[in-house]
């Protein structure tokens, strides 16, 4: 994967984004009856935020 990335993105420095929940949301998220939908919605919003930042 690294070899392919180096060739595809020559001269681009990779960056990581770490997304975290505020502590007050952790237990409600963990106990939610439809975690898949909840986390999926969070990821859609997170992606939008990162794209806006870029």
User: pLDDT averaged over consecutive 10-residue blocks of the chain (54 residues)?
Assistant: 75 79 86 90 90 86
Q: What SS3 class is residue 10?
A: coil
**Whole-prediction pTM:** 0.57
Q: At what angle do helices 35-53 and 23-31 cross, to 10 degrees?
A: 140
What is the reported pLDDT for 33? 92
Token digits for 30? 């963990």
What is the reported pLDDT for 28? 87
Please, what is the Cα angle at 34 between 29 and 36, to 5 degrees? 85
What is the reported pLDDT for 6? 72
What is the reported pLDDT for 17? 82
């Amino acid at each position: 994967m690294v070899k392919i990335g180096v060739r595809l993105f020559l001269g681009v420095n990779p960056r990581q984004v770490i997304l975290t929940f505020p502590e007050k949301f952790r237990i409600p998220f963990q106990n939610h009856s439809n975690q898949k939908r909840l986390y999926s919605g969070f990821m859609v919003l997170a992606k939008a935020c990162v794209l806006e930042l870029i």
